[in-house]
């Protein structure tokens, strides 16, 4: 999994913890919640996902996260973030990239089965005119029999 996505997905982890908290507290009925973000900004150390050059990314984004937990403990959660990104390399001889990113995740779990998926894309232009195009798709599913399917497919182009 890319460092970029790992930096964005902590919000998804918080949602997952909340889901299980609400699942145990929701004996009277389904619990649902939607959280929106407008002009949120985060900065974090990361590497250029295509070259590996270390740097710092700053993202400014809008987003929404939604979850539902029913009385049986079945969970559905989804979230999307989209906005601008600036990737400043630690090495000043490397280009700074400015552009757009979109991240999405979805979770559907019950007591026996679960599926989690996510996508992440960045399109940016470097200060030297070069392009940064990165896309990643990840999937994890677990069946009641214990069968696990996992893939993480990053690509640069």
Q: What is the mean pLDDT of residues 32-40?
A: 96
pLDDT digits (tens, 9 = 90+) for 54-69: 999 999 999 999 999 9
Structural contact between residues 114 and 141, judged by C-beta atoms closer than 8 angstroms: yes
Q: What is the pLDDT of residue 27?
A: 52
pTM (predicted TM-score): 0.80
Structural contact between residues 134 and 156, judged by C-beta atoms closer than 8 angstroms: yes
Q: What is the pLDDT of residue 132?
A: 97
82/107 Cα distance (integer angstroms): 19
State yes or no: pLDDT of 147 exceeds 90.
Answer: no
pLDDT digits (tens, 9 = 90+) for 88-138: 999 999 999 999 999 999 999 998 899 999 999 999 999 999 999 999 999
| Rounded alpha-carbon distances, angstroms, from residue 108 to 16, 51, 54, 80 | 11, 34, 34, 15
Q: What is the mean pLDDT of residues 1-15?
A: 49
Q: What is the mean pLDDT of residues 14-28?
A: 49
State yes or no: pLDDT of 6 exceeds 70.
Answer: no
């Amino acid at each position: 999994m890319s460092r970029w996505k790992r930096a964005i997905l902590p919000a998804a982890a918080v949602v997952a913890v909340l889901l299980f908290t609400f699942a145990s507290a929701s004996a009277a009925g389904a619990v649902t919640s939607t959280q929106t973000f407008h002009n949120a900004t985060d900065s974090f150390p990361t590497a250029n996902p295509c070259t590996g050059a270390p740097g710092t990314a700053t993202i400014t984004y809008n987003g929404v996260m939604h979850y539902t937990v029913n009385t049986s403990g079945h969970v559905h959660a989804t979230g999307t973030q989209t906005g601008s990104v600036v990737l400043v390399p630690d090495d000043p001889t490397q280009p700074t990239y400015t552009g757009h990113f979109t991240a999405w995740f979805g979770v559907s779990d019950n007591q026996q089965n679960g599926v989690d998926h996510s996508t992440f894309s960045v399109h940016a232009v470097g200060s030297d005119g070069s392009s940064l195009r990165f896309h990643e798709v990840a999937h994890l599913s677990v069946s009641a029999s214990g069968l696990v399917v996992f893939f993480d497919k990053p690509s640069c182009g």
